[in-house]
Amino acid sequence: MRTELYPTITPTHSGHLKLDDLHSLYWEESGNPEGIPVIFIHGGPGAGASESSRRFFDPSFYRIILYDQRGSGRSLPLGETRNNTTPHLIQDLETLRDYLQVDKWLLFGGSWGSTLSIAYAEHHPARCLGLVLRGLFLCRPSEIDWFLYGMKTIFPEAWQEFSGYIPASERSDLLKAYHGRLLDPNPAIHMPAALAWSKYEGACSSLMPNEDTLNSFLDPVVALGLARMEAHYFSNNIFLPDNFLLENLYRIQQLPIIMVQGRYDIACPIVTADEVAKHLPEAEYNIIPDAGHSAFDPSLCRELVKACEKMKTLIP
């Protein structure tokens, strides 16, 4: 079974889909136009998709769909928090699916992408062929608190820089302090805050130091979308009732699901994947012993490609 990324490919179609009077969503397609549709649901929220996101999938078998969520990447306007909630993002997937004339699709999502994949699948299980999930994250208060404060137990120097950006008098509530700065319309205020937030996340995302990964988090478009959207969603409990995602996993038990979790994922610790696995006993749950959070940690990357290959045999 193939384990390495597929070669670089270019989109065959792309465009912007108008969602409302404010938001326009970037989408693209590559691979086999007659193939099994698979949609890459990026992380963050706010990180956007990248060219390398296409490479997990066999382009001769899959119709590969990438898009950037509201406020992220190439969607417009970048960093816009108005009309931007999880219910909006779920509906956006339905709008895109209808626009592309897709009946059902395979969902591939990591980190926040796993959150949104689960949320969408719970609302629209009949539109899902299956799910490949990585670095599982339910965005609960305990997980948000870990991101803001707990990761310092493993990455104290990165956390000291992250927290040190905020004056000492405001450090008891880092989310509130960052949120206020990130929503400030003045780039001289929101961009340094965005870069500090994004640098912290990037520094904690790989098992081994990875300069390419860290540099990707320092791209201004990535940093602004990521930091602003994360602070926005984290401050609003992702706009869903408490524990909604875990309590509704029964809605997707019948779907083929493969979960791939790095043992040493610090950004999204394995305890969440373990909890989800207990609620989805029929799902395949693969713990990768030498991987962190990043989908491009070598062993995690290999397992994600393998999962997409295995899905060829599991999709009904």
For residue 280, what are the CA distances in angstroms to 112, 248, 285?
19, 11, 9
pLDDT at 211: 84
> What angle (nearest 5°) sits at the alpha carbon of residue 15, between those of residues 76 and 26?
35
Residue 1 confidence (pLDDT) above 90: no
Q: Pick 53 or 1 by higher pLDDT.
A: 53
Percent of the chain topping pLDDT 90: 95
Region 278-294: what's the mean pLDDT?
A: 97
**Distance (Å, rounded) from C-alpha 102 to C-alpha 220?**
33
pLDDT at 240: 96
> What angle (nearest 5°) sits at the alpha carbon of residue 110, between those of residues 245 and 33?
110
pLDDT at 13: 97
The structure tokens listed for 188 are: 């001289």
CA atoms within 13 A on the CB side of 208: 6
In this prediction, residue 210 has a pLDDT band, given cuts at 50, 70 and 90, of confident
The structure tokens listed for 206 are: 């790989």
**CA–centroid distance for 234 within its chain:** 14
- CA nearest to 117, candidates 105, 127, 108: 108
Map residue 255 onto helix, strand or coil. coil
Phi, psi for residue 307 in degrees, rounded to 5: -65, -40
In this prediction, residue 153 has a pLDDT band, given cuts at 50, 70 and 90, of very high
**Distance (Å, rounded) from C-alpha 268 to C-alpha 154?**
13
Region 8-35: what's the mean pLDDT?
A: 98
pLDDT at 316: 79
**Distance (Å, rounded) from C-alpha 212 to C-alpha 299?**
17
pLDDT in tens, 225-234: 999 999 999 9
Domains delineated in the chain: 13-141+239-314 (3.40.50.1820), 142-237 (no CATH)
CA atoms within 13 A on the CB side of 185: 0
Map residue 37 onto helix, strand or coil. strand
Residue 32 confidence (pLDDT) above 90: yes
Query: What is the residue-averaged pLDDT of the chain?
Result: 97
Region 117-142: what's the mean pLDDT?
A: 98
Cβ-contact 169, 295 below 8 angstroms: no
Rg, the chain, Cα only: 18
Percent of the chain topping pLDDT 70: 100
Residue 207 confidence (pLDDT) above 90: no
- CA nearest to 213, candidates 101, 296, 123, 95: 296
Residue 241 confidence (pLDDT) above 90: yes
Amino acid at 67: Y
**Distance (Å, rounded) from C-alpha 51 to C-alpha 55?**
8
- The residues annotated as belonging to the active site are 111, 265, 293
pTM of the predicted structure, to 2 decimals: 0.97
Residue 208 confidence (pLDDT) above 90: no
pLDDT at 260: 98
The structure tokens listed for 285 are: 């749950």
**Distance (Å, rounded) from C-alpha 197 to C-alpha 186?**
17
Region 144-173: what's the mean pLDDT?
A: 97
Region 282-292: what's the mean pLDDT?
A: 97
pLDDT in tens, 73-110: 999 999 999 999 999 999 999 999 999 999 999 999 99
